[in-house]
Structure 1
Amino acid sequence: MNKLKKIGALLSSAMLMTALAGCSTEKSDGAGSASSTAAVEQSKQPVKMETIRVWTNSGHTKELVTEMVGEYNSTIGKEKGIKIEYTVQGADYKQAIDLALASGQAPELFYVVGPKVDYVKRGDIIPIEELPRGKEFLGKYDGMLNRVAFTVKGKAYSVPFNITNVKLLYNKDLFKKAGLVDKNGEAKPPNTWTEVREYAKKLTNPQDKVYGIALPLKWGSYFDWELLFPWVSSIGHNSFNTLTGKYEFSSFKPALEWLMSIKEDKSYFPGPEGLDNDPARAQFSEGRVAMKLGASWDVGVLNDQLPATMDWGAADIPVSDPANRYKEFASVSDFISVSKTAKSANLEKVMEVYKWLNSDEFLVKMYEEGKYVPYDNRIIQMAKKLPKAKGWADFGHNEKIYLHHGQPTVKLEGNTHTQVFLKIWMGGVGIEEALADLDARYNAALDAGVKDGTIDKSMFVNENFDFRLK
């Protein structure tokens, strides 16, 4: 039996050698060799390079993104046949992109300014689902796209990229000088709105040209970013209540009363009615204002645009009652959308660029260099270094935030809430009366929009959303 096995093995080996010899003989006629050579030559042929254009208005990231694009083009892009042409437009960005879209010269990818629904109606942008493997890509954002910033009529036109949150900026030097310190002698920011009022009064010294707080009422977004949004932490919902689907300005009566108390104390920088945000930030930077509400974009302002001449910090938003603190407001934004122009380009390559611009790698770099606060804490945890920019660490932690759902754009009759709030400040109308009128007019406009089909209220309502801080 053992002999038979050995003979079988020898025969198998002989047959294998014969087969290999036959293969060798076949190649020697030149046909196989030519085929192999052709395959090698084909593999050496350079991939077809195609340019994918990207436009944004993000001036503060221009240098960094341009550098990253250059690296991409010389590595990944070179391998995949992609050259990204990155352009940052100036102050006339919206006009430039609208003209480019109207003339058929728009880039394949661009940042959308204003409501996306307008661009969708004109067919200027296309859904991510229409890109190769678009649905698969959107899977990583499950549960995060139900916001008007990203989705129109059930289709996604962009994805979350970064957040903008609000803090209380405070001058540590002035706090220490006034004795507003903790047991270690470090500046102690106020925890409540009552304390903000008390601190502002104590810190105001007109003789030294130092004032407790800056109120840039001339800035068109003041009453949103520095009053309504910060006070959500005390009230538990926005002026448009995500839980009920109604405007509820009346809930913000304490916020207006607090603002008027600051006026009563005269503890604000002079001339708030004529004070815009840039001059207010300049006064804070120069050390003449002790406190100011500020957004995460102010980190760049106070480090680069208007470099602070004093030691400053950014504290969590004060509340009315520390025992009933709600989550802090944060606006979630996107970075890029897909233009209708992409349909005439290589959609595979457009999708490659879109994925890269929203990749973890890209987001981590933006955070590490102090350009954006990422929408996801996971990105922060992936970072290998902390941003060096002063104040970034204060804004960078987002454990206490909620992501704003947005609110409907209504066709309002009469004055807007901003105009009414300014009238309250000027003493032209009572707080309770004015807020009740705002509720009535905004909700009437909301109902009219729902009725005529211009507003889909379901996009802004989430009855199960929890504002409570756990």
Structure 2
Amino acid sequence: MHKLKKIGAVLSSAMLVTALAGCSGSDSGEAGESAGAGTGSAAPTKMETVRVWTNSGHTKELVTEMVGEFNNTIGKEKGIKIEYTVQGGDYKQALDLALASGQAPELFYVVGPKVDYVKRGDIIPIEELPGGAEFLGKYEGMLSHPAFTVERKVYSVPFNVTNVKLLYNKELFKKVGIVDANGEALPPKTWAEVREYAKKLTNPQEKVYGIALPLKWGSYFDWELFFPWVSSIGHNYYNTLTGKYDFAGFKPALEWLMGIKADKSYFPGPEGLDNDPARAQFAEGRVAMKLGASWDVGVLNDQFPATMEWGAADIPVLDTANRYKEFASVSDFISVSKTAKSANSAKVMEVYKWLHSDEFLVRMYEEGKYMPYDNRIIQLASKAPEAKGWAEFGRNENIYMHHGQPTIKLEGETHAQVLLKLWMGSVSIDEALADLDKRYSEALEAGIQDGTVDPSAFLNPDFDFRVK
């Protein structure tokens, strides 16, 4: 039975690629209107198909609509028909098969390290397309990130960011009197205030707690501790200014976390609390504060609809007089396939430019689908997104796009495992930080020595983290 299922899966994939083979290239049955057709005054515009693949299900309806508008307007004028496909859970399998058989779309979303696709020759630099170098000009200073550039060649560009805010329950804040002069909920501006407010908001008798700490979530220590604390420390635990690991710089963050533990102002059982249950507790009004990423807007509106009034405040800092830029993870959208070489590359480039145009990005923001990489896009929007919380996450004037960090072969426990032991009382703060700096630094040096790590790809000594 298992063998039959496997054969069926392979046959289905093969049928998919066979069907795709008929979709590439020119559409001989379609042509743009031509004045004086039949009189020899002008040749019809040759229509050519440019295929685009993504796995972005949450934008499928909107992008499909926009592609239809493009095909009926700009596309007709320029002889371009976009064929837009959103693959399901088998996206990578379908993409790998299409690439191996030479039937890949001209443009597609890359899953996994871009360098792997480059080594196989599956994607080509944007500079190699007509007008590509000119197009990249508007991204000057933004392309050093390994998500975009491999060996000084650019394979994609910034599209959206994921940033972090402090989620807070306005109703609970008002109930305990944490309000401004107008009686509105007043979110904390410093980490000391977060701790102070968490104590004041905790009421075990009413099963209400100051803050949720989903320590079971594998990404907790990154997304809800280290990343938010960058705006207080001035660098990440991999310090792009020096090209070295610096966990020791985050001692104040760990002291704050252990202070929350000492105060017992957290939702019970953090060691067994994953992120989804933590978000559900916040949505139900049993947690007053939680660190959250911009993806949580969708969670609190759709997955776990909030039953109370909530807000998203800027990340607190240690000292309001010494604020650094806030962390934001930057992502791309589309890369150029090797099949673009055998297509009309000028038309492929036209589609690539349209998918990264101001018009396209503004629509993504207005409909609450993506947070744009450039705050200028938000300013161009003609309407605010309807999704509650989206506009607050759009206050991103002080973000910086995370520079990435090397992939190393670490011996022993990860930083998340070590810091969980810290929470459990097995190690001290100083012991944990010293251990992490030593082992991560050794792994980095080993990678540099064996050639698996290029430190220059992540080093940015001139970057200014300060908020001016």
So what's the TM-score if we normalise by structure 1?
0.88
Map 1:334-345 → 2, pairs under 5 A: 334-345=332-343
Of 91, 111, 114 in structure 2, the residue corresponding to residue 113 of structure 1 is: 111
Using the alignment, how far apart are the partners of 1:444 and 1:127 within structure 2? 34
Look up the match of 2:424. 426
Q: Which amino acid aligns with 1:180?
A: I
Using the alignment, how far apart are the partners of 1:142 and 1:184 within structure 2? 44
Look up the match of 1:285. 283
Using the alignment, how far apart are the partners of 1:102 and 1:304 within structure 2? 38
Q: Which amino acid aligns with 1:344?
A: S
Q: Once the two structures are aligned, what percentage of the paired residues are identical?
A: 82
Q: Please, which runs of 5 or more residues in structure 2 have no aligned partner?
A: 1-34
Using the alignment, how far apart are the partners of 2:335 and 2:268 within structure 1? 43
Indicate the structure with greater helix content.
1
Shift of 1:94: 3.3
Of 295, 298, 306 in structure 2, the residue corresponding to residue 297 of structure 1 is: 295
Q: How many residues align?
A: 434
Look up the match of 1:43. 42
1:465 aligns with 2:463: yes
Cα 1:197/1:40, change in 2 over 3 Å: farther
Q: Please, which runs of 5 or more residues in structure 1 have no aligned partner?
A: 1-35
Using the alignment, how far apart are the partners of 1:408 and 1:292 within structure 2? 29
Map 1:35-114 → 2, pairs under 5 A: 40-41=39-40, 43=42, 45=44, 47-114=45-112
Using the alignment, how far apart are the partners of 2:146 and 2:129 within structure 1? 20
Q: Which amino acid aligns with 1:327?
A: K
Using the alignment, how far apart are the partners of 2:323 and 2:176 within structure 1? 27
Aligned alpha-carbon RMSD (Å): 1.8
CA deviations 1:325-361 (Å, max 9, x no partner) are: 1111111211111122322322122111111100111
Could you tell me whether the CA contact under 8 Å between 2:144 and 2:457 is conserved in 1? yes
Using the alignment, how far apart are the partners of 2:165 and 2:76 within structure 1? 43
SS of residue paired to 1:125: coil
Map 1:427-442 → 2, pairs under 5 A: 427-442=425-440
Shift of 1:305: 2.5
Using the alignment, how far apart are the partners of 1:73 and 1:149 within structure 2? 30
Of 309, 312, 315 in structure 1, the residue corresponding to residue 310 of structure 2 is: 312
Cα 1:387/1:427, change in 2 over 3 Å: same
Map 1:116-265 → 2, pairs under 5 A: 116-265=114-263
Deviates most, 73-82 or 329-338: 73-82
Shift of 1:271: 2.3
Shift of 1:274: 2.3
So what's the TM-score if we normalise by structure 2?
0.89
Look up the match of 2:19. none
Cα 1:281/1:94, change in 2 over 3 Å: farther
SS of residue paired to 1:49: strand
Look up the match of 1:6. none
CA deviations 1:399-425 (Å, max 9, x no partner) are: 111121111111111111112112212
Look up the match of 1:331. 329
Q: Which amino acid aligns with 1:43?
A: A
Using the alignment, how far apart are the partners of 2:201 and 2:103 within structure 1? 55
Using the alignment, how far apart are the partners of 1:433 and 1:71 within structure 2? 59
Could you tell me whether the CA contact under 8 Å between 2:37 and 2:43 is conserved in 1? no
Look up the match of 1:412. 410
Cα 1:104/1:72, change in 2 over 3 Å: same
Could you tell me whether the CA contact under 8 Å between 2:325 and 2:400 is conserved in 1? yes
Cα 1:270/1:97, change in 2 over 3 Å: farther
Q: Which amino acid aligns with 1:268?
A: Y
Q: Which amino acid aligns with 2:316?
A: P
CA deviations 1:165-204 (Å, max 9, x no partner) are: 1100001011111111111100000111111112112212
Of 358, 361, 364 in structure 1, the residue corresponding to residue 359 of structure 2 is: 361
Q: Which amino acid aligns with 1:440?
A: K
CA deviations 1:141-183 (Å, max 9, x no partner) are: 1111111111010000001111111100001011111111111
Pick the structure with greater CA Rg: 1
Q: Which amino acid aligns with 1:182?
A: D
